[in-house]
Chain A
Amino acid sequence: MFQLFLIAFRNLGTHRRRTLLLGGAIAGVTALLVILMGLSSGMKETMLRSATTLATGHVNVAGFYKVTAGQAAPVVTGYPKIIEQIRRDVPELDYVVQRGRGWAKLVSDTGSMQVGVGGIDVQDETAFRRVVQVKEGSLDALSQPGTLLVFEKQAKKLDVKVGDTVTIVAPTMRGTNNTVDVRVGAIATDVGMMSDFNVFVPSATLRSLYQLRDDTTGAILVYLKDLKQVPHVQARLRQKLAEAGHVLMDNDPRAFWFKFEVVNREGWTGQKLDITNWEDEISFLSWTLTALNGLTGVLIFVLLVIIGVGIMNTLWIAIRERTREIGTLRAIGMQRTRVLVMFLFEAMTLGVLGTLTGAVLGLAVCLGVNAAQVTVPEVVAVFIMSDKLNLAVHAGSVIGAMVFITGCTTLISLIPSFLAARMKPVTAMHHIG
């Protein structure tokens, strides 16, 4: 068998031009596949990291409080006790934070905009600091009440700089409009769609805007060490919180703001908790990932068909060129199966070398793009939640791509190899070509 492999390898060396052409094409497709996979998983990772830090935890304990049947507010009362219980009942816990939730009008001296206002305790938000890149000011400014973090695009729209004051206007739970003045403490780099409609203030400031007590929040964001544990933790929290006497809402896998209509229609008053996971809270964004994966799949399929036809055709030509050689090999006693295996080896070796080169090339491009900090157009940044292109390459997926393309080229070469093996030695030796 090793002999056959050597013959196949030497054959590749003998027909250097053809090998380079075909190997180059395989390398090109592999590199493209690696880059596309890097792009897809990079976008997915960026989206998930940004969304799970800015808008949701891995598991969220949120809910609604209703003063009257028709007026719901996204509020969780008595949150310190719930956090205590989460720490007790969730050993998989990495960390837990609380976030106030609001929807308010942000008014500067030159403009205004409607935004979602997140109330944070910035000293507890370790992951938030990693995701949010501050361009001006400091995140630590948010440790003082009456401060605000806005994103670049919002700062531009409102025409504000660090130190400027803006007013936040929102109706309280009792329907009275309230306002607070906040000083811009930090301007952060945009993180896609999330930064279009989200700003952050200290929790105390949000509470003073909505006239809420100190033990109220909007949601408790639970972060786990392992994302795979999300369904178990979610189910356990439902059970344990219900056992602790909390009233829970039926599971509704949507972002909290989609639920206002349903909750306002229901007749209950008081507090109900709602337990969701990160997928529920960013379900409105999941179509972008599906679309991206679909697009990558279609593109790879088309490229593979083209390259497959190319390989088959080239091998076909190679076999025609080497018909006399095949005849000689058969005449001196080489079995048909060995001829078949020899050609398969040739295609496989070509595939391995081509994909290896392509993977290295693709990897280099991905690393280069990451190092160059390429800025994406605004329309792309909206979806990937980052203004910088991030290509995430994983060893497993690169090896997978190599195996897949090598497998495809080997399989495609079966037909011409089989035809070569089927030839009669006399016919083959008499062949003029």
Chain B
Amino acid sequence: MEQLIDNIDILSFILTIALILATIGVYQFFAYLQSKTQLIWLNPMLLSIAAIIPLLLHFKLPFDQYFHSTQMLNNLLEPAVVALGFPLYQHLNSIKHQWKALGLLLVLAVILVIVISFTLTIVFIAIPEIAVSLSLKSITTPIGIALTQQLNGDTSITAFAIILAGLFGALLGPTWLNFVNVKSAKAQGLAIGAASHALGTATISKISYEHGAYGSLSLIVCAVITALVSPFLINNLTMLLIPF
């Protein structure tokens, strides 16, 4: 009996190591592929998810087992959020002279997108957890996922929605903004940072330095504003839109 338990422990340990290494390996492969091809839509996160799902199905490995084994990677989300304090520090210095106008604009933008996303989801899909997830989709992934857990959303839907919002802004953002006659680099950077976080910002950084600087400023400030207003806003929207 004891022997059996030992064997199970060793097996689950090997499985844990194998799944973590496989996840990192798959991700690194797609990250390498993207850096070689420079194609925006070859997003390593999206492709890793798309590659791992068929593998789990093929080996009949339940998601709970996979998630349990890769818990270590998921736990690194917390220190990753803390690390974002560094770009926040860098950008707070650069907006000292116009923080009132910028802050107000981004607060309004964050409120607008949360209200629109939450309301549309309640009306058309009518699942509160999904509404929470879609409300938090415009911000950078670690903070979006941390807030989703806090507000009882669904983290996998949030992760998926965040990637899509990023891809839309990265692929079509600059064209759309030129079309509606928003041509200044600062305005484009702010808009894409607010709507499409790091994914959009990484893409537009190639257009000009100013695009990248305003994009990363906007994405980090929007994430902080979202963290501050979303608990209050989403609680009130829930009470208003979901009568029991």
Q: Do A and B come from one complex?
A: no
